[in-house]
Amino acid sequence: MSITTQKKVQIDVKNNDTTTESKTEQPRVVYDTKDLNLWYSETHALKDINLEVTENEVTAIIGPSGCGKSTYIKTLNRMVELVPGVGTTGTIAYKGKNILDNSMKVEDLRTQVGMVFQKPNPFPKSIYENVTYGPKIHGIKKKSLLDEIVENSLRGAAIWDEVKDRLNQNAYGLSGGQQQRVCIARCLAIEPDVILMDEPTSALDPISTLKVEELIKELKKKYTIIIVTHNMQQAARISDKTVFMLNGEVVEFSETDQLFSNPKDKRTEDYITGRFG
Amino acid sequence: MEKLEALHQNNKMNARLRKNSIWKSIFFLSTLFGLVVLAILIIRVLIQGLEWIDLEFITSRLSTQADKAGIMGAILGTLWVMVVVIPVTLIIGVGSAIYLELYSKKGKIQSFIETNIANLAGVPSIVYGLLGLTAFVRLMDLGNVVLAGGLTLALLVLPILIVSAQEALRAVPGHLSEASYGMGATKWQTIRKIILPAALPSILTGSILALSRAIGETAPLTVLGIPALLIPFPQGLLDTFTALPMQIYYWTLDSSLVAEYANLAAATIVILLLILFILNSIAIIIRNKYHQRN
Ligand SMILES: Nc1ncnc2c1ncn2[C@@H]1O[C@H](COP(=O)(O)OP(=O)(O)OP(=O)(O)O)[C@@H](O)[C@H]1O
Ligand SMILES: [Mg+2]
C-alpha cells in the first residue's frame, strides 16, 4: 500500500525533472562499483570492476560470451549468491549503501531492483497472478489496488491492449515476445527504481525485439536500466552509456556514441568491428 | 564398378534392416510376455473370485463359514491404516525432501544422507516389519494396533516418497524460483508459492504410488502379528485390526482346510486390485492434467 502511493509521487517528480531541469543538475549515481572481484570457487569471473551507473539512463553491457556480463548484472541484485561457493571483494554502493556487506536485506534490495531474464520466465499462472505476484508477496491484498497495479504495469510494459481481455488465462499461452513483456510488467509491478535486463530480447523475433526496445526507451524516463546484450546495434540504439567487458574486466566504459564511433581501446575497436568475439 | 558398390551398400542396408526388425520382435515379445502372464493371473483370480463378490461379501464381518464370510473388517482396517500412513508420510516425506533439496548445504553429509535414503528404499519390507515390531509394538508397547501397523508401513514407504518428492522439487525449473527471488521474495515465499505448487502434481503422483505400495504389503504386517481372527471392527488408532493383504494371506494358507477359502482369497484380491487400480488411475489423471498445463 504505502510503496504504491509513495512511488507515484516520486515518479511524477522524476518526470518533471527529465523534461525541464535535470540536465543542469548533477546526475545521481545509482550504483557505484569499486574494485569488485568475484570468484566462482576457483574461477575468477570479475576482476577489479569500477563502474558508475547513473539514474534514468540506459547502461548497456557488451562483450564476448563468458566475459562476465551476466555475473556482473546478477551481482547488482545479489542473485549471484544463489550459486554455491561465490565469493566477492570490493564494494557496490547502491544509493550510497554497500550491498555486499549484508547491511541491506537482500529482499529489500531486490524490491528496489527488478530483473528481467534472458528467457521469458512467467510463472505457470494467469497473467493477472503473474503481475500481482510481487505486490502480493510484499503484503498488498486489496483487490482494487491490485487491479490498478495490474493495469498500470501492463500498460507500462506496452502489452495491456494485447492481454486486457484475457488476464485470467495462463501466461504460457502467450507468444515469447508477449511473455517477455508480461515479465517486464511483473517487474514493474514491484515499482523498482532500477531494472536489470540480461539479454532480454535474445529469445525473441525481430518484431518483438523492436517492441521491447521501444519499451526500454520509454521506461528509461522513470527507471534506471542496465541491460546486457550481445547485439551491438541494440546497444547503440537504446543505451546512453556502454560498458565493454572482456575476460572479467571492464575494458572501456563511456558514452555509447563515443564508444562505438571512437573507441579508445584497441580491443574495443576489434570487438565492435567484428574482428573477434 | 560403381554399380557393384551400390549393390554392396544395398546389401549392408538390408542386413541392417533385418537386424532392426529382429530386435523389434524381441522387444515386442518381452512386452507380450509380461502382459500375457499378467492377464493369466488376473483371469484366474477373476474366475475364482468374481462369483463370490457381492454386497454381502463386502459388508459382512469375517466368519469361519465360507458363504457367510465378508471382508468389511479388513477394508476398515486398511482404511484406518491409511489414516495413519497418509499424514505421516506426507508431512515427514515432503518435509525432508524440502529440507534436503532446498535448504541443506550441498556437500558430503548431504550426499551421504541421500544415498542412505535411496538404500532404505531397497530394504526388504520384512525388515521394516521387524523394526515396527521392536519399536512400536514392543518398545512403545502399542501392541499390534492400527497405529503400530500404520507407522510401520509409513516407515516402509517413506524413503520412496522422499526420493520421489526430491525429484519432483528438483524438476521445478530454476528460472521460476529465480524470478521469484528476483522480486524480493523470501525463500519460504518462493517455496510455498512457486516451487511447491509446481511440484505438487508429481509429489501427489509419487505419494499415491507409495500409498498403493503400503496398501498391498503383507510381510511387515505378518511380522507385527496382525491377526485375521474374528475381531471387532477397528474404530480408532488403538484398536487391533486386520488388513486386506493379511486376509488374503490367511485365507490362502487355510485353503487346504476349506476349499472355498481359495475363492474368498481370490475375491479379496479382486477388491484389493480394484482399490489399487483406482489409486493408480487417480495418479495418472493428476499427471496428465499437469502435463496438459505445460
Ligand atoms: N554458476 C557458475 N559456476 C561456475 N562458473 C560460472 C558460473 N556461471 C558463470 N561462470 C563462469 O564465469 C564466467 C562468466 O560467466 P557469465 O555467465 O557471467 O558470462 P556472460 O558474459 O554472461 O556470457 P554469455 O554472453 O554467454 O551469457 C565464465 O567463465 C563462466 O564459465
Ligand atoms: Mg550471460
Helix A176-188 vs helix A143-156: crossing angle, to nearest 10: 130
CB atoms within 10 A of CB A175: 13
Mutate to test the pocket of ligand 1, among A39, A41, A44, A69 (most ligand atoms within 8 A of CB): A69
Neighbours of ion ligand 2 (CB under 5 A): A 70
Confidence of residue B8 (pLDDT cuts 50, 70, 90): low
Residue A17 pLDDT > 80: no
Q: CA angle B42-B43-B46, nearest 5°? A: 85
Helix B196-216 vs helix B244-254: crossing angle, to nearest 10: 20
Residue A5 pLDDT > 70: no
Residue A21 pLDDT > 70: no
pLDDT score at B273 = 92
Taking only the tens place, the pLDDT of each residue in B233-269 is 888 888 888 899 999 999 999 888 888 889 999 999 9
pLDDT score at B233 = 86
pLDDT score at B3 = 61
Nearest CA in chain A to B195: A123
B-chain CB neighbours of A139 within 8 Å are: none
Residue A9 pLDDT > 60: no
State how far residue A123 is from chain B, nearest Cα, in angstroms.
6
Q: CA angle B167-B169-B171, nearest 5°? A: 70
User: Are A183 and B179 in contact (CB < 8 Å)?
Assistant: yes
Taking only the tens place, the pLDDT of each residue in B28-56 is 999 999 999 999 999 999 999 888 888 88
Q: Whose CA is nearest to atom 5 of ligand 1?
A: A40
Contact A36, A75 (CB under 8 A): yes
User: Are B175 and A117 in contact (CB < 8 Å)?
Assistant: yes
SS3 of residue B202 by DSSP = helix
B12 — phi, psi (to 5°)?
Answer: -55, -45
Q: pTM score > 0.95 for this model? A: no
B-chain CB neighbours of A110 within 8 Å are: 181-184
DSSP B123: S
In terms of CATH, what superfamily is B55-293?
Answer: MetI-like (1.10.3720.10)
pLDDT score at A26 = 67
State how far residue A98 is from chain B, nearest Cα, in angstroms.
18
In this prediction, what percent of chain A has a pLDDT beyond 70?
A: 90
* Dist CA B209 CA B124 (whole Å): 17
Cα distances (Å, whole numbers) of residue B10 to B1, B21, B23: 14, 17, 20
Contact B229, B289 (CB under 8 A): no
User: Are A137 and B185 in contact (CB < 8 Å)?
Assistant: yes
Q: CA angle A9-A12-A18, nearest 5°? A: 140
DSSP A80: G
pLDDT score at B293 = 55
The interface residues of chain A toward chain B in range 115-144, judged by CB-CB distance below 8 A, are 115, 117, 119, 121-124, 133-134, 137-138
Domain residue spans of chain B: 2-52, 55-293
CB atoms within 10 A of CB A47: 16
pLDDT score at A3 = 46
Q: Is A107 on the interface with B (CB under 8 A)?
A: yes
- Interface pTM, i.e. ipTM: 0.85
pLDDT score at B239 = 87
Mean pLDDT within B192-214: 91
Confidence of residue B99 (pLDDT cuts 50, 70, 90): very high
Taking only the tens place, the pLDDT of each residue in A97-113 is 999 988 889 999 999 99
Which domains occur in chain A, in start order? 27-272 (3.40.50.300)
- Who among B176, B182, B186 is closest to A115 (CB)? B182
Mean pLDDT within B102-113: 87
A-chain CB neighbours of B105 within 8 Å are: 84
State how far residue A73 is from chain B, nearest Cα, in angstroms.
12
Average pLDDT, chain A: 88
Name the range with the highest mean pLDDT among A6-15, A95-104, B176-185. B176-185
